[in-house]
Amino acid sequence: MASGVDRISALPDDVLHQVLHFLPSQEMVRTCVLARRWLGVWRFMPAFRFNGAKGWGSADRFAQFVDHLLHFRFGGDGGRCAPLDSCDFDFDSDGFMRLPANEQHASNWIWKVVPNVRMLRLRVVEFGQEPSPLSDLHLVSQHLTKLELVGVGVKDSVVDFSGCPALVELSMDVCDVFVKQLLSPSLKHLRITRCYTSEYTRILISVPSLVSLELIECRQGRVPLLESLPRLARAVVVLTDDCSDRCSKGRFDNCGADICEDCWWYYGDPEYGPIYDRNNSIFLKGLSEATDLELSSDSELILFDRDLKWCPTFTKLKTLLLNDRCLAADHNALICFLQHSPILEKLTLQLFKGPSYVTETEGMYKPLGLSVASNYLKTVEIRCANVDSKVHRLLKILTTYGIRLEQIRVQQTSKISAPGCFHFVCSSFS
């Protein structure tokens, strides 16, 4: 201002902290030279953000800065101070994590910060590099509520978050998750996306307080074994061609041959983990408490068809989405879900463009008559690129099992032809 009045410095600390929140931590500290008013503002910042060594001249200078700042904020032994609201370590594409010494620095910083932060984000992805390992995830914190890991290698046999009783949200993206168990009594939201897991064993996930689960495009490994999830409200599962739960001979229902490695590993091996009950559901049972469920796959998997034989009852399920790769074995999966979801209100079927992927292999599930269990079903939505023979076949199956045509809506999504929505009002078709 022409008057020379410093109006920004007159703002309360809370507002200034919001302004400083947008700066990397080194820039935040440098504000102390602006004026006497700013000398101590940064010291009580509720959030830190470290963007790596780029621009520091050397990784050692950056590491010294982080060491000094964390020591000042928390003291030599962690200290007794107000916890941070958030702390971000973003080492994406700056090369900092290539050296083992710097990995050790990062591990030490995590241990320093974890007991004193509510939300921690660690991103160490570097294009063309393997995820950087985190030496130990047996974290202990009374304050940590959210943990986000991107590009981190987690390779402990057991990842136990029991020492973090306030942790409610865990997100892992592009991580190596080669563990046998993941445990947390408090976790409510779990998101695992684009992660690599072991093809020889399943991860046992024990999170009894879980409310939402997302397993999206996990690669190479097998679908995890889910323990009881009594509070589960929403689950989204998207499996890719890399999933190991498929028969190498192209069979959808498990060929049973000892020489077929994928089928042989289906129930596990005692050398790598527990053997799973051949007379029980492996995956669907853990999802049976969900009220909103989405299941999609890029390929035909042994998993779904095998689980259908011991399909649980989805007593709370109200909305269900399946894609056509989950409808193999003569649509037995679709029929199974309809007959085991007594209060289902909406069913969505997503069809891929191209030839039908429904195999002629007889499925493990045998339909229970021709009736549909749910009397609450209001809408069946079929999403497709074109209204073709696949859609016609679905209409025939749905009506055969008691669903009226007026309950069905076909949503055409093709970009070539004009999108359209079809509502049926007739009572029969040929």
- How is 18-66 classified by DSSP, letter by letter? HHHTTS-HHHHHHGGGS-GGGTTTGGG-SEEEE--STTSSSHHHHHHHH
Measuring CA to CA, how many Å separate 116 from each of 83, 145, 247?
Answer: 4, 11, 48
Average pLDDT value for residue range 87-101: 78
Confidence of residue 328 (pLDDT cuts 50, 70, 90): low
pLDDT score at 368: 59
For 56-75, write each residue's pLDDT tens digit. 878 888 899 899 888 888 87
d(CA 96, CA 60): 10
Tell whether the model's pLDDT for residue 146 goes beyond 70.
yes
Tell whether the model's pLDDT for residue 128 goes beyond 60.
no
d(CA 211, CA 290): 9
Confidence of residue 143 (pLDDT cuts 50, 70, 90): very high
Average pLDDT value for residue range 226-233: 95
Most confident of 2-16, 80-94, 309-323: 309-323
HSE-CB at 291 with a 13 A cutoff on CA atoms is 7
pLDDT score at 274: 52
Sequence-distant (6+) residues with CB within 8 A of 372 are 338, 339, 401, 402, 403
DSSP 208-242: TT--EEEEEEEBSS-PPEE---TT--EEEEEE-TT
Tell whether the model's pLDDT for residue 360 goes beyond 50.
no
CB 173 within 8 A of CB 153: no
d(CA 158, CA 154): 10
Percent of the chain at pLDDT exceeding 90: 28
The SS3 call for residue 400 is helix
H or E element that contains 379? strand 379-384
Tell whether the model's pLDDT for residue 252 goes beyond 50.
no
Average pLDDT value for residue range 320-347: 84
pLDDT score at 40: 79
pLDDT score at 259: 46
Mean pLDDT of the chain: 80
CB 327 within 8 A of CB 361: no
pLDDT score at 256: 53
Average pLDDT value for residue range 173-188: 93
Confidence of residue 206 (pLDDT cuts 50, 70, 90): very high
HSE-CB at 100 with a 13 A cutoff on CA atoms is 0
Average pLDDT value for residue range 367-381: 76
Tell whether the model's pLDDT for residue 76 goes beyond 70.
no
pLDDT score at 359: 47
Least confident of 181-195, 241-255, 271-285, 351-365: 351-365
Partners of residue 234 on adjacent β-strands: 212, 292
Indicate the pTM of the whole model: 0.84
CB 128 within 8 A of CB 111: no
pLDDT score at 261: 54
d(CA 168, CA 312): 27
Tell whether the model's pLDDT for residue 174 goes beyond 70.
yes
Please give the distance of CA 73 from its chain centroid, rounded to a whole number. Answer: 33
For 260-307, write each residue's pLDDT tens digit. 555 544 455 555 555 556 667 888 899 999 999 999 887 666 566 677
Partners of residue 214 on adjacent β-strands: 191, 236
